[in-house]
Structure 1
């Protein structure tokens, strides 16, 4: 069961180096006051404190904290966890992202065992494994993803596994390595519409990401695929609808849509706060286009409620197959 909890080396602490030196050239974009529908209560649950203690005692650093995720109180109160592998330093500098950019350190060969042990100790039913971009590695970190999946299968065989991968741009064979490791869900986020890639996600290529998701189904048609975007970055409504069509062309099963929240004044500004009614409309349209599962709300995040969503995915596919058989 899931949100964003990542294993990274404690040695790379925030106190040791500037948070976003690579974004220093960007103009200041004052953070706007959030509307009432985005504000959440501060976490007070005893279970939240217990989860926090597990994180601290295992020397983990969390994306939940670093990204200021609004769902941290809810998720940690349910002991939901999602692990980020391959370190805490990304080789890209996306304008929306709060993860540190720079030259990453070496891959920790003990990490697969450590993640598997944490999954087993916490008794997770479903876990998300994500990572930073590792353009410095020959396979983009795909082999390490496979090792982590295998280690979890051995240590916690009943846990279902969802991967949220980078795009493995210019890494031949990387995607096949991850798919062959047989995760239950393969997630790769488009993040935004193609017209915004140059300013929001400059190191990535929109149609490469679409093709990546399509290839997953070509390799293993039974694998669930998933992708997510943020809105409020200046995209047009029709662009979001076209993106839905592009994902359905790639036979993607699950779409998440959430509000972009600006991490700091050096990040991309919020163009607007999309209303809850607009999210509801997006959800209805996406279901009409054929997605098995859609999560669209201001506070939707890619790994939020991932365990429950995986159960919904399985039910939706079973129902669809049942309808086809009776037709």
Structure 2
């Protein structure tokens, strides 16, 4: 009897924080030999791989598809892996805060991002200044990801210009902070996205360039928060005026990049004289100061909100969810 060896290749995504690698196999009445090779995709990885545990998960389901991905897809999985690591590096961490499950939020219906996306949707996303979160599933890291975009020449040129400007901004901040590690990872992302563009850009590279642009927007916001938020951080907590202040919350670890989101909050006194209040708050405050202390005093609260865009990278494709009323934009006494 002739035995023909069957080879399966898997490329799991690891990072400096990885404690184990999960590999999948098909159970059966045959001997299996595993050859595990661990190598770094970038020169800046300094983790000692000897400390990583390798876990093998077998499926008794004979129909399980664990065929090796096409070699053309391996670089794209590497791109998603590098993208996630860059987001982890560029976002602040607050492991003491409770995690927010994005699935608990009220969302607008999701829209697919790919070849079927409308020109108006892609233009809105490229021109949007709203905060964005990239949500990664384990499957999107391990499986081939075939997403492409079909941008018009005009929209592709706009993406190129915005990506180039945002890239310059982030690189300047990294140089100022002497963050060589992040710079190395960013160079790797540029190579995998084919940037700077040539005259003809295929749909897969358009998709990568889009994700890279939105990632750099997030990184720029994390590295250099808006001037108003920087000034409020420097003030004393006893500052009495009702105003918008920065508030960062933690998101679910391991599946979302970045791991935090800045949603802001309102803080400060609503005592007389109030310069950020409507007529009801002014009269209510005067009524209370006249000795009627059994009424609720005016509170410093958000009166305007912005959206949060969440891009889900899943095994079945890429989807956009818009979370309304997520980020406080303005405050008043009410």
TM tier, shorter chain?
A: under 0.3
TM-score, normalised via structure 2 length: 0.26
Larger radius of gyration: 2
Larger strand proportion of the pair: 2
TM-score, normalised via structure 1 length: 0.27
Query: Which structure would you say has the larger RCO, counting Cα contacts within 8 Å and 6 or more residues apart?
Result: 2
